[in-house]
Amino acid sequence: MSQPEKLYHKMAHRAGVAFSVTNPLIDHWLGSWNHSNPLLDIGCGNCHNSLVAINNGARVYATEIDEGSLQLLQQAHHDKAELLSFHLAKLPDNMPLPDHYFSGVLCSEVFHFLNHEETLAAIQQLRRLLIPGGKVVLTCGCEDSQMFKKVNLKGIKVAQRKKHPDRLDPVDDILSLIDQALDHYEPDPKARELRDLAYSIMPRSYFNFFNPDQLAHAFSDAGFSIDLVTTGPALHYPALEHGDHDQVRLVAGKL
């Protein structure tokens, strides 16, 4: 079993998958800490990024959507309670956290599990949670994902935008699309293993692959300035083919 697959099996839970890697925009998140208001790590997974932040002196609220996973995190890091607290929360409709409280929010690999309405509502939640001038640091799936080029994912997304230019709609039946993509890699024996792994951990039947400019526009419309919008690799995913544009990376400031 490859190392990425081992990480999947080790960290998979109902909330999705957590990765033992540092978010590529971690410096932006750490830089948003104002030494007064805490940082927020939405979908903290195995808490790797939160630990980096507290090791730099920041106070961090870390959230997950699965109560069992949250209890395990609390037990594992009970000695860090002075700087690190854990909270059950789920974007966009269950975020029991105070208004205008956080100087920076990290949201790693969460948005691609949201549909259009949930994405817009989640952006509004992020705005509610941040102090004026606070930063959102976000990574999520990109429509230019290398693994899905052979099944014309980009064409599917372009057709969606042509029909509904203002919508951020996901791709329905993502598991079927994964099957189609993996067919191109046969007779690689790992193709079916990866398919079975995806079936076991995918929390929903759809998946949102974003266009970076369209996502940035949604943040801008919601009252954010865009500090950074780009794409990059997402090597923590156990895909059979990786590219330089698998992941959307965005940093936005609350106006």
Domain presence at residue 159: no
pLDDT at site 194: 73
Query: DSSP of 209-247, one letter per residue?
Result: PBPHHHHHHHHHHTTEEEEEEEEE--TTS--SS--TTSE
User: Domain with 243 in it: what CATH number?
Assistant: 3.40.50.150
pLDDT in tens, 213-245: 999 999 999 999 999 999 999 877 767 788 999
Confirm whether 73 is domain-assigned: yes
pLDDT digits (tens, 9 = 90+) for 42-64: 999 889 999 999 999 999 999 99
Examine residue 180 and state whether it is found in any structural domain, yes or no.
no
CA distance 126 to 55: 24
pLDDT value of position 77? 93
> Cα-flanking dihedrals φ and ψ of residue 16, to 5°?
125, -130
Residues in Cβ contact with 158 at an 8 Å cutoff, skipping those fewer than 6 apart: none
d(CA 167, CA 139): 19
Work out how many domains the chain is built from and give that number.
Answer: 1
**81 located within any domain:** yes
Domain region containing 68: 3-145+208-254
Report how far residue 197's alpha carbon sits from residue 191's, in angstroms, rounded to the nearest whole number: 10
pLDDT of res. 190: 73
Is 109 part of any domain? yes
Residue 140 counted as domain residue: yes
Which pLDDT does position 156 carry in this prediction?
Answer: 96
pLDDT at 20: 66
Residues of the chain with pLDDT under 70: 1-20, 186-187, 238
Q: Does residue 232 sit within a domain?
A: yes
**Does residue 56 belong to any structural domain of this protein?**
yes
In the prediction, which pLDDT does 5 show?
40
